[in-house]
Structures are given as C-alpha cells and as structure tokens.
C-alpha cells in the first residue's frame, strides 16, 4: 500500500476502514441488519456497565443493551467470574449438566405457571418451538397473532409484523402479510391476524376458524405495536376463548420478562399455557427457553411412548449460557426489579418534562424498565396508530443520529430505551438533557411532519 493510500485511510475513522473490509467478506458488511447504518456501522471495542467504547475511542451511554438483552449492562463482574470458572471446565458436552438443572429450578420457582422448562438458543427458536409444540399438542395447523407484533424470524411468527396501509386490509379481518419475499402461500393461510386490545373484533376473527387454531400467541407489551400493555380484559378474553375452543394461549416474553419479577404475565389473573423466553435470561449469551404446563410440555418428553415433537439442539442448555443466565437472574431479584422500574419511571417523567419545555408533539409509552418515544401528541394504542410513514421514520433516524453523534447516547432504532441495572440518576439526567436538546433541534421539522401526518 502506498503512502498516499495509507494517509487516506488514517484520516478516516477506524470503523469506516473496518466496514470497507467487512463488505468483502460479509453480505452487506454485517451479520444482522439491526446494526447497519449509513455510511457505515460503528464498531465496538469494549464495554463496561452501561457504557460502550467504539474502535475510535468514543464512549457512549447504552440504552439499547443489545436489543434489550443485557439487563445488567456489559461485563458484570459476577457473571464474568462465573462464566470464566465454567470455561475452564468446558463449554458444551453431549451430556446434561448441573448448570442446566440449577437454572431450570430458578425459573420454575420464579414464575407461577412455569412447571417445566426446555432450553434453546434464541428467542426466535423459543417462539418456533412453542408454536410447533402447540401444533403437536392440539393436532391443529393454524396460529393466531397480533397485527404488527414481532416474534422473531420464524416464517409463521413474522407474518404481518410490518404490514403497511396499502397491504393490511380491513381492521375487521386483517390480511396476513408476508415479511420475506418467497414466503409460501401455505404459511400465510395458516396465520390468522387480529388487532391488539380489541376484544370484539379479535373474538369474531378467531371464531371464524376456531376448530383450526392451535394457539393464540401474545406479546403482553408488544414493542412494535406501540409498547402498550395488553389490557386485563383483553388477555382474559383470549384465555377464556382458548379454554372454550381447546386451543392454547401462549406468551412471547422474550423481551417482557424484564417488566416484573415474574414477567409481564404477573399482572394478569390468568396464566398462559406456555411462555417463550430469551434475551435477559442469557446473561449476555445466546439463549432461549420455553416454559409451561407439564401436560403441554409433555409433547417434548423423550420418555413418552410416542414422542409428538422430537426436539434437540447442539448448544441448547450449554453450561456457559445456563451459568451466565442463572447468575443474571439471581442478581435481578425483586429489589433490583423494583429499583430499575422506578428509575425508568423517573426517566419517563423527566423526558415528559422536556417535551413540555420544548413544546413538541411527542408522547411516551412503556412498561417496567422500557419505554418508547413517539413523534405524535397522543400515544398510540394500536399497531395502525403506531405505524410510522416514511417522513416519520426519516425524522426518527435524524433523532437517533443526533443522539449518537452529538450526545453520545445509543438507543434502539424505534426510538426506544431499555434500562440496565448499572444505571443511576446520573444517566437519567444525561438522557433527559439530551432529549431536550434534540427536541429543540428538530422542533421545526417535527411540527411540520406532525401536521402533515397526524392532524
């Protein structure tokens, strides 16, 4: 390489140079689209607590926490110590482990209704396994899910997660809209879509195909629907419907387990038949799990004369993940949950005060230790209200770039924050001031877009 070319590279960021090289070996230069950004993604060098330092030496306050998976932030000493100790004993075997048993016992004792657990390797795999177990248990082919809800990348689970106005159809019978090109028609035919928190419309939709539905899958606080909790009446109506029609009610708590000590389901009087878990239960490592009633989980049991759902996974319940997960969940005890939820509520209050000071049409929704910022004066209650047209998406991107580059703050790309236990009032104050700064920065454009889109 000549001197002129070397000078050209050194004048640019280390991240830019890494991305150019990555594009030669990795499709699009990234292995998950979530981290892609123009002109190039940023590359992490190290992280500790609630701060991440990139390869150019810039430290940022992290409210993304690897898409809500790091409840204790980065490199928590107790988790690191436990994992290093296990590393010396091995990372995976073709054998069961005590680490798996210890973690399963913790989860079952923690959440009422978790009678049995089965570990997998991701939230997507947990949802996939839960859906397949529902089919095996009921002998039925179809599932029903909320319009706009994200449940990972299993083809049945991802239907209608990004429905648009020109696709979504009549609210009384929403269309089943594919996410990926090439999705088979058979998949679309076997996924029934209903509107979140609308009892009458949902029950009418479910009744029309009652004898074909294996399970109704619900995220109790669906992020992409607007991060609004399911009402008690709605969840109870779904539970009652599944009892009447011999179907299963299954929860996706991959994200929402953080909401309460016993997950988002702790707020309801009824309990799901199965729950998919992931993210925070891995202690920073890839993880998934299905937990539920013994009778239902029996379809996975290798002791049965007829195994309805044979199931394995090379790295499922590996001792690194189960050790890290157990320590993480032990640390996330009732006091830690309460403290983090209270801190998040303070952050929401301070941001709402910033909204008033800046006098901008912005609202917040959330639950527990997570919230989402909406560029509209009144918070959305449904996916169709939470849907963001191109102009709003562009403005959110501008907000995120401003926060990232000017305030050194990382957020999830929907303009959402996921708190972690290392955070304190100091970090809340930094966030609130940054939000006031960005609201003032975008106010003229925001008012124009809001008038065009929402008024």
Task: Give the contacts of 186 (CB within 8 A, at least 6 positions apart).
Answer: none
Collapsed DSSP state (helix, strand, coil) of residue 117: strand
Give all strands (DSSP E) within 319-455, no chain letters.
Answer: 363-367, 370-374, 409-410, 416-418
Specify whether 346 is catalytic: no
Ranges of beta strands (E only) in 238-287 are: 248-252, 274-278
Q: Which two tokens stand for residue 390?
A: 């191109």
User: Cα separation of 396 and 442, whole Å?
Assistant: 10
Q: Residues 163, 147: contact at Cβ < 8 Å?
A: yes
Look up 25 and say whether it is catalytic.
Answer: no
CA-closest candidate to residue 328, choices 117, 125, 60, 81: 81
Catalytic residue among 252, 268, 273, 383, which? 252
Could you count the other beta carbons within 10 Å of the beta carbon of residue 381? 16
Active site residue: 62, 116, 145, 150, which one? 150
State the catalytic residue, choosing from 19, 137, 279, 387: 279
Q: What does each C-alpha distance from 423 to 80, 105, 362 come to in angstroms? A: 19, 29, 24
Per-residue tokens: 167: 């696709």
Contact 254, 123 (CB under 8 A): yes
To the query of whether residue 150 is one of the catalytic residues in this protein, the response is yes
Active-site residue list? 150, 252, 279
């Amino acid at each position: 390489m000549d001197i002129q070319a070397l000078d050209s590279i050194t004048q640019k960021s280390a991240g830019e140079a890494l991305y150019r090289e990555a594009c030669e070996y990795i499709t699009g230069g990234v292995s998950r689209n979530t981290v892609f950004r123009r002109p190039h993604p940023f590359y992490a060098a190290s992280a500790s607590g609630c701060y991440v330092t990139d390869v150019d030496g810039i430290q940022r306050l992290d409210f993304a926490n690897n898409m809500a998976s790091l409840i204790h932030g980065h490199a928590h000493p107790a988790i690191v110590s436990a994992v290093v100790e296990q590393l010396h004993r091995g990372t995976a075997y073709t054998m069961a482990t005590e680490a798996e048993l210890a973690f399963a016992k913790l989860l079952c004792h923690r959440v009422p209704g978790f009678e049995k657990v089965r570990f997998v390797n991701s939230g997507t795999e947990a949802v996939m396994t839960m859906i397949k177990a529902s089919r095996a248990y009921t002998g039925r082919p179809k599932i029903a899910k909320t319009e706009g809800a994200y449940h990972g990348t299993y083809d049945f689970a991802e239907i209608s997660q990004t429905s648009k106005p020109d696709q979504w159809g009549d609210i009384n019978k929403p269309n089943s809209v594919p996410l990926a090109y090439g999705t088979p028609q058979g998949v679309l035919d076997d996924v029934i879509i209903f509107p979140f928190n609308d009892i009458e419309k949902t029950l009418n939709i479910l009744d029309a195909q009652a004898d074909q539905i294996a399970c109704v899958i619900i995220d109790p606080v669906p992020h992409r629907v607007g991060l609004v909790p399911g009402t008690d009446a709605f969840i109870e109506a779904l539970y009652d419907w599944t009892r009447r029609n011999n179907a299963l009610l299954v929860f996706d708590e991959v994200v929402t387990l953080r909401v309460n000590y016993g997950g988002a389901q702790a707020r309801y009087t009824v309990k799901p038949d199965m729950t998919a878990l992931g993210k925070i239960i891995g202690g920073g490592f890839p993880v998934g799990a299905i937990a539920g009633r013994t009778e239902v989980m029996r379809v996975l049991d290798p002791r049965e004369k007829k195994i309805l759902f044979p199931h394995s996974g090379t790295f499922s319940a590996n001792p690194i993940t189960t050790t890290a997960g157990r320590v993480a969940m032990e640390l996330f005890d009732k006091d830690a949950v309460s403290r983090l939820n209270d801190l998040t509520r303070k952050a929401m209050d301070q941001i709402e005060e910033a909204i008033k000071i800046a006098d901008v049409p912005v609202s917040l929704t959330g639950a527990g230790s997570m919230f989402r910022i909406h560029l509209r004066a009144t918070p959305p209650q449904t996916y169709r209200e939470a849907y963001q047209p191109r102009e709003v998406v562009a403005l959110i991107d501008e907000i995120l770039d401003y926060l990232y580059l000017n305030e050194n703050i990382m957020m999830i790309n929907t303009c959402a924050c996921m708190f972690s236990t290392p955070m304190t009032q100091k970090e809340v104050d930094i966030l609130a001031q940054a939000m006031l700064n960005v609201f003032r920065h975008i106010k003229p454009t925001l008012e124009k877009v809001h008038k065009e889109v929402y008024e």
